[in-house]
Chain A
């Protein structure tokens, strides 16, 4: 013990090797506060965020109970295994009952009468058949500014792009279709549009004029959306009354 108490610095590797903090040594908090630039603003923001979190928790009236629900084992686990097994079994049943068809071998010399992709690409394939609405510009002498194929590819990009930016267009805490008839109508219109686009590749096969099918492909989604909008608007008043009453009974406004 007496050896360790001597204050002589030793370099033989013995001793605790840790210098006890004195008043001069900055704490970690002080070190972080002294930083500059990006690490400084990061530190400041995280301090703010932590304080915000703490304040919100203190203000909250949410009651946390000791036991909130079911045990993971066995209740949740068995339920999940049951659902997964049922689903897998359904899949195997389907495979046994409806075996797939292997068509004719590929033949570049023989174009099939109807070219169609798998069903989940029908909408995308339909968007490639929009050439009647590919605009012709007077300034380039009535010529199309882009090829019909490019127009179709762009239509695909636009559709996927619009779907991707939806959360930036529609914000707020509304969850049910009745709360936002416009967005529900847009959704229904979109689903119907996917179906009507799917029939564009086979539009010649109907016993009426092609133009009628083509126009219907655009009018039907609008009609469906309008009906949805009207129905939800009508439902809305009584429904929202009930919903608000229950919502505010559970969490009374302060």
Chain B
């Protein structure tokens, strides 16, 4: 027995005296290596906390607690419309990002507009391109439909009432922005539908006194349609609206989380 005090923290010796399989030994050695550098042990509490959070018991809903299911189960699909809008939004975001790789928002000088030609190329030449555009378009259509129906569900079940006014107003803004998303989106192919819808948009903004001309300049890049219009619609569709709408959806869902779902009684 030596007089020298043993190092209690000699992990190597501790590892050597244990009989471990190869997998266990490799695992422990890498764990010790990482822990020496990043002190994982300090974050164990966080991990533990996370573990218990994901293993929470969901509280029984009002309808389950008071056994009202016999009256209400057939309404339940309508209570999923909000999440369906979010799922459709995510599908549209992913397919839209892929479409953005191949689309160019340009009208060009002669011949067919470049925007139109790129979409023709996506649909005819690109592998899976036809399906990609189809997915994007249907996701958009379904999202708008789901948002409308979601609003009707909220209205007819009285879920918008005090104390949920703020979320209703955010919802109305989100509905308007969803339609704006759709509008800026279907202007992008620069086909007949797009052009004349844009024409209506310009006429609408020009009809407003005082700020009308300024709005037309800002949103449509002039009083007649052309390259500036297309480019602005593109930036609105792929840059401005995604950020705004995503942030608003996060707030909207966060408020639902805080206030709880307004269940029927």
Contacts and interface: CB of A to CB of B under 8 A. Distances in A.
Interface string A18-46: 00000000000000000000000000000
Contacts of B191: 102-106
B64 A69 contact: yes
A133 interface: no
Interface stretch (A2-10, A52-60, A159-167, A217-225): A159-167
A251 B152 CA distance: 29
Given A147-B207, A187-B156, A247 B130 contact: no
A71 B144 contact: no
A247 B63 CA distance: 12
A153 to B, nearest CB: 6
A188 B168 CA distance: 18
Contact of B196 (A88, A112, A121, A172): A112
A168 interface: yes
B186 to A, nearest CB: 6
Given A88-B87, A91-B91, A153-B208, A172 B161 contact: yes
Contacts of B57: 67-72
Contacts of B246: none
Contacts of B156: 177, 184, 187
Contacts of B65: 68
Q: Chain B at the A interface: mostly helix, strand, loop or mixed?
A: helix
Contacts of A121: 179, 182-183
Interface in A118-157: 118, 120-121, 124-125, 128, 147, 149-150, 152-153
B97 interface: no
Interface string A202-213: 000000000000
Given A71-B58, A103-B192, A153-B204, A250 B135 contact: no
Contacts of B259: none
Interface stretch (B37-45, B116-124, B235-243): B116-124
A1 interface: no
A145 B108 CA distance: 42
Nearest to A242: B71
A99 B130 contact: yes
A164 to B, nearest CB: 5
A121 B209 CA distance: 23
A50 interface: no
Contact of A72 (B54, B131, B168): B54
B87 A175 contact: no
B116 A175 contact: no
A175 B162 CA distance: 11
Contacts of A227: none
B138 interface: yes
A250 B161 contact: no
B225 A108 contact: yes
Interface in B31-78: 54-61, 64-66
A91 B139 CA distance: 7
Given A68-B60, A164-B172, A180-B158, A149 B207 contact: yes
Contacts of A73: 54-55
Interface residues of B, number: 75
Contacts, number: 184
B135 A91 contact: yes
Interface string A160-196: 1001101110111111110110011001000100000
Nearest to A111: B196
Contacts of B120: 102
Give the interface size bracket for A toward B.
35 or more
A105 B164 contact: no
B165 interface: yes
Contacts of B5: none
A153 B179 contact: no
B253 to A, nearest CB: 14
Nearest to B205: A153
A210 to B, nearest CB: 20
Interface in B141-170: 142, 144-145, 148, 152, 155-162, 164-165, 168-169
A250 B66 CA distance: 7
Contacts of A112: 192, 196
Contacts of A149: 203-204, 206-207
Given A83-B80, A95-B131, A128-B204, 14 more contacts: A68-B58, A71-B56, A88-B91, A98-B134, A103-B191, A105-B116, A164-B169, A164-B172, A166-B168, A167-B162, A175-B265, A183-B158, A184-B156, A187-B155
Interface of B: 54-61, 64-66, 80, 83-84, 87-88, 91, 112-113, 116, 119-120, 123, 130-131, 133-135, 137-139, 142, 144-145, 148, 152, 155-162, 164-165, 168-169, 172, 176, 179, 182-183, 186, 189-197, 199-200, 203-204, 206-209, 225, 262, 264-265
